[in-house]
Amino acid sequence: MALLALEKVSKRFPGVRALNEVSLQVEAGEIHALLGENGAGKSTLMKILCGIHQPDSGEILIDGTPQHFSSYRRACAAGVGIVFQEFSLIPGLSVVDNIFLGREPRNRLGLIRHGVMLKQANALFERLDIDIDPQIHVHHLSVADQQFVEIAKALSLNARVLVLDEPTAPLTPTEVERLFTIMRQLREQGVAMVFISHHMEEIFEICDRVTVLRDGEYVTTLEVADTDAGALVELMVGRRVDNIFPDHHSHADSDDIVLEARIRMAGRKHTDYIQLARGEILGFAGLVGSGRTEMALAMIGAQPVTERQMQLEGHKVTLKSPADALKRGIGLLPENRKQQGLILPFTCADNITLNHLKHFQTRPPFISRRREREAVEALMDRVRVKAPGSDTVVGTLSGGNQQKVVIARWLERGCRVLIFDEPTRGIDVGAKSEIYALMKTLTAQGISIVMISSELPEITGLCDRVLVFNHGHVVAALSGDEIEAGTIMTHATRQISLDNPTGSTDESVATLERAS
Amino acid sequence: MSTPTSDANPQPRRQRRSRASRLLHSPVFFPLVGFIAVFIVMALANDNFLLPNNLTNVARQGAIIAIIAVGMSFAIFTGGIDLSVGPVMALSGTIMAGLMAAGWPPTVAVIMGLLLGMVFGAFNGACVAFARMPPIIVTLATMGIARGLGLIYTGGYPISGLPAGFSFFGRGEVVGIQVPILIMLLVYLVAYVVLHHTSFGRYVYAIGGNEEATRLTGIRVPRYKLLVYTISGLTAAIAGLVITSRLMSGQPNAGTGFELDAIAAVVLGGAAIAGGRGAILGTLVGAMLLAILNNGLNLMGVSPYLQDVAKGTIILLAIYIGRGRNA
C-alpha cells in the first residue's frame, strides 16, 4: 500500500477546471516526480495535498486512511511537509525561530524553551547532514541554505511526506548536488517525496517514478528507468518537441555597436566593460549571486554605482533611473516577476500597457481605452498568453503566462536594448520555446538583447556572445565555439584573486557542470 | 478577483464581462450595498430622515469629509496615507480668512489658501518620494506642524469679519443645489477622470500595487508620489475653503479628527489600505455612508458617546464583510 495516495482529485476555480480526477501514489522511500507544463495543475494538486485548497471531489489517503485537510496546519499535523516555490521564511528571525514558528515548545509559565528548540534544530541538521548555525538570522544565509532550512522546517514535524516544489530553481549546480544528497538520505529514511522540477536531467538523476499531468488531467505514471526525456516532454505537451531552441542563425551585426558600458559597482575594485552589438544576444552567465543582476540593474540606472559611463549608438548617456533608461530605449525584464515585474492586482491589459500608455493618448492626457484594448489583444495573441480575457487579473495566471505578460509589455515600447533577467525561470518547455523564438524575432528586428540565465543550455543554445561573471566581475568573454557549458562553468566557478579578476584559471572545479 | 466565466472549458478568447457581473465585481458594489442598507435602516428609524431638507443637509455636511477623502484616496491608492489633512484644511482656511480680514480681495485670498495647501502637500510628497521617509511618520509630523502654524498665525482665536460675498462657497446655491455639494461633485468628477482616463491615474494604482515593479518598468515613481501628496494638500485646502465660508470665520482648530473620518471613508469605499485597489466613487459612497450615519444617529437622539461606538462598530463590520473579496 502506498504511503500517500491521492484518488481522483478534482478542483475547479471560477472559469477554470484546474484538476480533473487526478490520482497519484507515492511509496515510502520513493522520490516521485510530478511533471507538467505551467498550468497543468501541479501546484494546485500540491496545495490540495497541503490543505491550502480543498478538493471538490476525490480523496487523500495516508497509509490507506482517508484524510480531510481543512487547513495547512492539519496537513502538517498528519505528516505532510512542503517546501514552497517561494520561500516562506522570515528573514529577520533566526533559523531556529523560523523552524519552530507558531509551535514553540513552552515551559509551564508559557515561556519559550530556547534550549529545547536549539537541541531539536541541531538534531534535524544532523539528520540532514547540513552545517548551519541555528542561531544565525535567516537573511544572512545563502539561497541554498535557506532552502535547507525550509526542508528542516518541513521535517521538524516528523513529516513522512515531503513536497518539494521546484526546489532547484534558485540553486547552483553544487547546491543542487547537496540538495540531492539530502534527498537521498531522506529516501533511505523512508520519507515519501514529491519532486517538482522543469529540469529533465534532475528527474533522471534523482527520481524513481514520474507522474505526468497535462491541462489538469492525469496522463500517466512511469518508472523513470523505463523512459527518456523526449518521451516525457511528448507526454507533457502532447506533441513531440525536438529542439526547443530556434535555429542558430545569428542576427548580430558585430560592426554596429549599440551600447558600450563601463560600470564599476559600489564596493568593487574594478570597472567592467560591456559592449553590445545590434541584433546580438549577449549572455550573462555565472552563478547565482555572481553580480549579473546587479550589473543589469546598474545598466538601467536602477542601482547606485561608483562609476557609470554609457554610450548608446555613439552618444554619451546619463542614466539616473530606470525611467531615463526607458527614455533612451533600454528596458529590463526583471528576475523576480512577482516582486519586480508585475502589478499583481492589475489586469493583463493594465500590466502590458503600463510603460507605454502614451501610445494610447489620442487626446492627451486622456487614454483611449478602445485603442488600448485593441493593442493589448494583439500583443496577447502575439506572445500567446493563455487567459480568459485581457481583463483577467494577472495574479490568477500561471507563471509562464505571467512571464509572457511581462514580455508583452516591452514589445511595442520601441526599445533598442532589452535585458532579460532569467526569462524562463519556473516556466515549462512549451512556453520556454516560445520565449526563445520571440527573442530571435526581436533580434531580427535589430533589437539587442542581454540575457541573464542560470541555465546553461539556454546560454549555449541562444547566445552570440557570453560574458561570464564571477564574484561581481566579468571574468571572461566567450564567443563562437568557446560558448560551451564546460568552459562557462570553469570561468564561473574558479577561485579568483580579486586583484586580478581576469587572471589564470583553476581548472579543478570544471566538473561542476549542471547541463547535460 | 476571479473571472466570472461559468463554462466548463475556459476558452483562450478575449471575452468581455456581462454588465451584471461587471457591476458585481466593481469595487463600488459592496460600499453601495452597505450605503443602501444603512440608508433604509435610518429611513425606517426616523420619520424626518427622508425629508428633502434633511437629505440635502446630510450631503452638505458630508461634503467636507468627502472632499478631503479624495486626496486621501490618492494617497491610499499608492499605498501611502496622509494624516495631515485636517490641520492643513484648518491652516488653509485661516490663511484665507486672515488675508481677507486684512483687506485682500477674496479671489486672491482663496488662491493663496489653495496654494498653501498644495505647498504643504508637496512638502509631504517630497519627504515621502525623495527623502524616502514613511508617509505615516511624515504626515504625523506635518500634522502637528500645520496645526501649530495655524494656531500661531491666528493666535489661537478664530478670524472673523469676512466679506459677505465670500459666503458663496459654503452657503450659496446654484440652480437650487448648495455650493458645497457642487464643489464636492466637481472634485469627484475631476478625480474620477484623472484616475480612470489618464496615465497618471494608472500609475497611482500601479505604485500601490507594486512600487518596485513600477519603478523598474520605467515609471518616474517619485515624481508621481509628489503629485499625489500635492493633490491631497489641495483637496484639504478646498475643504478649508468650504468650511471657512460656511462658518464665515477662520477656525484654527477646525478639522480635528477629520483625517480618521477621511481614512474611514476611503476604506468603507472598498479600497485596500495597502494600496493598488480602490475606487474614487467608492470613497464618495463611503463618505456619504458616514454622513448618513452621523445624521441618522443624531435624529434618533443617540448620545454622541454612543454614536462613536456605533460608528466604529459599523466600520469594522463593513470592512469585515468586504475583506478579501478582491483577492
- How many domains does the structure of chain B reveal? 1
Nearest CB to A15; choose among B2, B209, B214: B2
Confidence of residue A513 (pLDDT cuts 50, 70, 90): very low
pLDDT confidence of residue B16: 53
- Tell me the DSSP string of B186-225: HHHHHHHHHHHHBHHHHHHHHHHH-HHHHHHTT--HHHHH
Cα–Cα dist B150/B90, whole Å: 7
- For A445-468, write each residue's pLDDT tens digit: 999 999 999 888 889 889 999 999
The reply to whether B41 falls in a domain is no
Range of the domain at A375: 336-414
Nearest CB to B210; choose among A322, A342, A358: A342
Task: Return the C-alpha cell found at A92.
Answer: 529577520
- Residue A46: is its pLDDT beyond 70? yes
Q: Is A363 helix (H, G, I), strand (E, B) or coil?
A: strand
CA-based torsion, B61, B65, B66, B67: positive or negative: positive
Determine the Cα angle at B23 with ends B22 and B25, to 5°.
65
Compare A325 and A237 and report the one with higher pLDDT: A325
Using an 8 Å CB-CB cutoff, list chain A residues near B6: 14-15
Contact B14 A380 (CB under 8 A): yes
Contact B12 A387 (CB under 8 A): yes
Contact B2 A393 (CB under 8 A): yes
Check whether residue A181 and residue A261 sit in a common domain.
no
Mean pLDDT across A212-231: 90
The reply to whether A372 falls in a domain is yes
Contact A17 B326 (CB under 8 A): no
Beta bridge partners of A31: A193
Check whether residue A201 and residue A317 sit in a common domain.
no
Check whether residue A448 and residue A460 sit in a common domain.
yes
The whole-angstrom distance between A410's CA and the closest CA on chain B is: 9
- Residue A365: is its pLDDT beyond 90? no
Compare B55 and A513 and report the one with higher pLDDT: B55
Confidence of residue A500 (pLDDT cuts 50, 70, 90): very low
Cα–Cα dist B135/B36, whole Å: 34
pLDDT confidence of residue A514: 33
The reply to whether B19 falls in a domain is no
pLDDT confidence of residue B89: 98
Task: Return the C-alpha cell found at A259.
Answer: 551600447
pLDDT confidence of residue A159: 87
Residue B218 gets the label, from left (phi > 0), alpha (psi -120 to 50) or beta, of: left
* Closest chain B residue to A401, measured at CA: B12
Using an 8 Å CB-CB cutoff, list chain B residues near A15: 2-7, 10
Contact B10 A388 (CB under 8 A): yes
Check whether residue A147 and residue A267 sit in a common domain.
no
The CATH number of whichever domain residue B228 belongs to comes to 1.10.3470
Contact A342 B213 (CB under 8 A): yes
The reply to whether B3 falls in a domain is no
Task: Return the C-alpha cell found at B133.
Answer: 521617509
Contact B214 A346 (CB under 8 A): no
* Closest chain B residue to A350, measured at CA: B202
Contact B205 A355 (CB under 8 A): no
Using an 8 Å CB-CB cutoff, list chain A residues near B16: 389, 391
The reply to whether A17 falls in a domain is yes
Q: Which of B5, B203, B217, B22 is nearest to A387 (CA)?
A: B5
Check whether residue A106 and residue A54 sit in a common domain.
yes
- Residue A142: is its pLDDT beyond 90? no
Using an 8 Å CB-CB cutoff, list chain A residues near B205: 343, 345-346, 350
Nearest CB to A322; choose among B4, B215, B272: B215
Confidence of residue A505 (pLDDT cuts 50, 70, 90): very low
pLDDT confidence of residue A424: 87
The reply to whether A244 falls in a domain is no
* Helices within A383-448 (DSSP H only): 399-411, 429-444
Nearest CB to B15; choose among A14, A350, A389: A389
The whole-angstrom distance between A53's CA and the closest CA on chain B is: 15
pLDDT > 90: percent of chain A? 43
The reply to whether A243 falls in a domain is no
Mean pLDDT across A147-170: 86
Range of the domain at B78: 52-322
The two beta strands, A465-470 and A192-196, are unpaired
- For A326-361, write each residue's pLDDT tens digit: 999 999 999 888 889 999 999 999 999 999 998 898
Beta bridge partners of A504: none
B266-303: b (≥16 Cβ within 10 Å) or e: bbbbbbbeebbbbbbbbbbbbbbbbbbbbbbbebeeee
Nearest CB to A345; choose among B7, B198, B209: B209
Contacts by B22-28, CB closer than 8 A, 24 or more apart: B25/B1, B26/B279, B27/B269, B27/B270, B27/B271, B27/B277, B27/B278, B27/B279, B27/B282, B27/B326, B28/B269, B28/B270, B28/B279, B28/B281, B28/B282, B28/B285
* Closest chain B residue to A11, measured at CA: B8
Cα–Cα dist B206/A304, whole Å: 24
pLDDT confidence of residue A84: 79
pLDDT confidence of residue B8: 37
Out of A358, A381, A414, a domain closes at A414
The whole-angstrom distance between B177's CA and the closest CA on chain A is: 30
Using an 8 Å CB-CB cutoff, list chain B residues near A386: 12
Number of C-beta neighbours around residue A447 at 10 A: 24
Q: Which of B212, B216, B223, B226 to mutate to test the interface with A (most CBs of A within 10 A)?
A: B216
Mean pLDDT across A274-302: 91
The two beta strands, A473-479 and B173-174, are unpaired
The reply to whether A227 falls in a domain is yes
Q: What are phi and psi of A353, to 5 degrees?
A: -90, 0
Nearest CB to A344; choose among B13, B209, B216: B209
Chain centroid offset of residue A297 CA: 18
Q: What is the pLDDT along chain B (327 residues), one digit of tens a residue?
A: 344 433 333 444 444 556 677 777 777 888 898 899 999 999 999 889 999 999 999 999 999 999 999 999 999 999 999 999 999 999 999 999 999 999 999 999 999 999 999 999 999 999 999 999 999 999 999 999 999 999 999 999 999 999 999 999 999 999 989 999 999 999 999 999 999 999 999 999 999 999 999 999 999 999 999 999 999 999 999 999 999 999 999 999 999 999 999 999 999 998 988 899 899 999 999 999 999 999 999 999 999 899 889 888 888 887 787 665 543
Q: What are phi and psi of A232, to 5 degrees?
A: -65, -45
Cα–Cα dist A403/A130, whole Å: 34
Q: Would the ipTM clear 0.90, i.e. be above it?
A: no
Q: Which amino acid is at A7?
A: E
Check whether residue A46 and residue A136 sit in a common domain.
yes
Out of A414, A446, A480, a domain closes at A414
The CATH number of whichever domain residue A16 belongs to comes to 3.40.50.300
The reply to whether A245 falls in a domain is no
Task: Return the C-alpha cell found at A139.
Answer: 537573511
- How many domains does the structure of chain A reveal? 3
Residue found by looking up cell 566579468 in the block = A474
Nearest CB to B220; choose among A323, A344, A391: A323
- For A224-281, write each residue's pLDDT tens digit: 999 988 888 788 877 655 567 887 778 888 889 999 999 998 888 889 999 999 999 9
* Closest chain A residue to B274, measured at CA: A345
- For A395-422, write each residue's pLDDT tens digit: 888 888 899 999 999 988 888 999 999 9
Check whether residue A464 and residue A478 sit in a common domain.
yes
Determine the Cα angle at A115 with ends A114 and A116, to 5°.
95
Q: Which amino acid is at B61?
A: Q
Contact B5 A14 (CB under 8 A): yes
pLDDT confidence of residue A240: 57
Contact B202 A17 (CB under 8 A): no
Using an 8 Å CB-CB cutoff, list chain B residues near A357: 199, 202
Confidence of residue A515 (pLDDT cuts 50, 70, 90): very low
Check whether residue A439 and residue A300 sit in a common domain.
yes
CA atoms within 13 A on the CB side of A22: 31
Q: What are phi and psi of A307, to 5 degrees?
A: -145, 135
- For A47-91, write each residue's pLDDT tens digit: 999 898 999 999 999 998 999 898 888 888 888 988 876 678 888
The whole-angstrom distance between B316's CA and the closest CA on chain A is: 24
pLDDT confidence of residue A241: 57
- Crossing angle of helices B52-77/B179-197, nearest 10°? 30
Chain centroid offset of residue B123 CA: 19
Contact B12 A15 (CB under 8 A): no
pLDDT confidence of residue B10: 40
Contact B16 A389 (CB under 8 A): yes
Contact A321 B10 (CB under 8 A): no
Compute the count of residue pairs across chains A and B with CB atoms less than 8 Å apart.
127
Using an 8 Å CB-CB cutoff, list chain B residues near A350: 202, 205-206
Q: Which amino acid is at B36?
A: I
Cα–Cα dist A202/A261, whole Å: 37
- DSSP-assigned letter for residue B51: S
Check whether residue A60 and residue A190 sit in a common domain.
yes
Q: Which amino acid is at A59?
A: E
Out of A186, A202, A237, a domain closes at A237
Q: Which amino acid is at A3?
A: L
The two beta strands, A31-35 and A192-196, are parallel
pLDDT confidence of residue A510: 32
| Mean pLDDT over the full length of chain A | 86
Check whether residue A149 and residue A203 sit in a common domain.
yes
Contact B202 A354 (CB under 8 A): yes
